[in-house]
Structure formats: C-alpha cells, structure tokens
Amino acid sequence: MPGYSSVLKTKATTFVTYVGGITLLLLRTVAGMFSPPFKRKQLVEQMSKTGVDSFAIVFLTAFFAGIVLAFQTAYTMRKMSAEIYIASLVGLSMTRELGPVFTALVVAARVGASITAEVGTMQVTEQIDALETLAINPIKYLVVPRFLALCLMLPILTIYADFVGILGGFIVGVSKLHISPHLYIRKTFDALVYKDIFSGLLKAVIFAAIISIVACYEGMRTRGGAEGVGRSTTLSVVISCILVIASDCLFTALFYFMF
C-alpha cells in the first residue's frame, strides 16, 4: 500500500498545482485587462480569428442539432398529439443548453487548439523568453487579447447558434409536421423568457474564460518541441471540453433549482 499512497499523493499534488496555475493565470489576465497599454489591433485580430472564422462551423453544428432535436421529439410528441409543443421545446433547449454548450465545444476544438498550438510553438522556440527579455509582459501581449476576444465573441456565436438551431427545428416543424409557420414562431417565442436567454449568454462568457485560460496555460507550459506542442494541444481540448460540461452542469443546477 505504500506505493499506492505515493501515487495518490503525487496525483493530488499535480492536481492542486494545475488548479493553482490556472487560477493564477486567470487573476493575472484579469489584472492585465485594466493596465495600459491596450492592444486594440491585436484584440480585433483575435476577434476575427475567434468569431468570424467560426461562423460556418457553428452554423452547421447548430442547424443539424435543431433538426435532430425536432425529429427526435416529434417521435414522442406525435403519440400524444402534441406536435405543436415541439416549437417550445426546441427553442428552450437551444437557448438554455444546446446553443451555449455545442458552440463552446466547437470553439474549444477549433479555437482552443489553435491558441495552444500557437502559444506552445512560441514557448518551445523561446519566443516568449524573447518577449520577457524585451520587457514585454507575455500575459499582457499573448493571453489578454485572446481572453477578451473569446469572452466577447462566444456570446455572439451563441446567439447565432440559438437562431440557427431554432431555424432547423422550424424547417422540420413546417415541412414535415405541417405546423403553421406563424404558429410555430409564436409558440417558440411565447415559451422563452429573459432568464433563458440570459443564462445561456452567462454560460457562454464562463465557457469562453475556461477555454481561453486553459488553452493559454497549456501553451505556456509546453515542453519538448513539436511532440510537446501536439501533446499540449490535445490536453487543452480534452480539459476544456470536460470543464465546459462540468460547469454547465453546475450552472444549470444553480439557475433552475436555486433561482
């Protein structure tokens, strides 16, 4: 049992060290947001990479999610002659859960991996060390623009995904279930309240912070050349996806069971 205890202690130490490193990077990033100089050009560039370049893949993901959700719920609703409630179900599901979570997972896979690979390559080629030699704060220069860009663009992508997913359900409801277009739209928006939309956007901001901080942290701790970059990129995506789903579970319970 001494060997098992030693392994357990090592794992616990690694976990605490990782959480501490992530937390410290988050605090230093938030502090860097309010300290000059402000790199507006870098922020706009990162917003373009993060948001504009992700519109196509978010569209495909949300559109097919809305279609599948409408088809799957129609199977049960038809047995109860309640097809009209498909509109409300799709609208609520997209704004509360599927829109924020699917968008975050797509962004974690696409943008998070890109950030880790970019920062990790700079780390193994000693470009970050060069920035420090030139008295440039690497967190202010590398992390803050990416953090802000994700926190600004992910809620916009989430709103976009909500509408696209509802559009997918609308197409199924009107073309396959023969629901009146006007009635489908009215039922969709009658079911939505401000809390549904607000909770989805708040989740998007939290997911953005998780993805950006984990991606940058993994990039900045990369070691071992090209192999290390690949390992850090994979780890970044896996950890980001797990934390997104775990935090979604936490905040869903917070919003719908405590408030």
pLDDT digits (tens, 9 = 90+) for 148-196: 999 999 999 999 999 999 999 999 988 888 888 898 888 888 888 888 8
40-59 residue pLDDT tens: 888 899 999 888 889 999 99
CA-CA distance, 150 to 211, in Å (whole number)?
Answer: 8
Q: What is the pLDDT of residues 73-126, one digit of tens each?
A: 888 877 777 778 888 889 989 998 899 999 999 999 999 999 999 999 999 988
Q: Which of 103, 210, 243 is nearest to 159 (CA)?
A: 103
Q: Do residues 155 and 198 lie in contact, with contact meaning Cβ atoms separated by under 8 Å?
A: no
Domain residue extents for the chain = 2-257
